[in-house]
Amino acid sequence: MLIQGEKRMDVNKAIFIGRLIKDPVNKKLSSGTDVCSAVLATNYSYKDSKTKKMQDKVDFHNLIFWGRLAQIVEKYIKKGDKIYVEGRISTRNWDDKNKVRHYKTEIIVSELIMLGGKKREESNKAVVKEETSIEEIDIDEE
């Protein structure tokens, strides 16, 4: 726990770099607010202790984008694109019609950096940078 003056501050921050496994899904709420959901895949390799062979593991993360960020994702991000996101972890729960409790953990995204992917026109890059404070970075892929 961090203490700032008289206030107590907790930290809930998640950082991911990965690829979208399908196109984002956008909705406009009755209030007019844009919301977008997407699923990000991250992977890592480890050495299996029994077989001594390298194994790959993939994790999937539910992402939620709100407002202007949701509009940017809808316009510029597609399946397979590599992105960097920062946000907070949020778990929500609900009971279905059979009174079974369900839980879903999501990352409420507050920052986004596009890490290359499909080549975009230079003019699109400029618009994204001007309208939002997100960045696009081309990286060499192995």
State pLDDT tens for residues 82-132. 999 999 999 999 999 999 999 999 999 999 999 974 554 443 443 343 344
pTM: 0.73
Q: What is the overall mean pLDDT for the chain?
A: 84
The tokens for 124 are 């699109």
CATH fold of 11-43+50-136 reads OB fold (Dihydrolipoamide Acetyltransferase, E2P) (2.40.50)
Q: To the nearest whole percent, how much of the chain has pLDDT over 90?
A: 72
pLDDT of residue 56: 93
Is residue 33 packed enough to be buried (19+ CB in 10 Å), middle (13-18) or exposed (0-12)? exposed
pLDDT of residue 119: 52
Residue that is written with structure tokens 């986004």 in the block: 112
Cβ atoms < 10 Å from Cβ of 90: 14
Backbone angles phi, psi at 71, to 5 degrees: -65, -40
Q: Average pLDDT in the 31-60 region?
A: 94
pLDDT of residue 9: 79
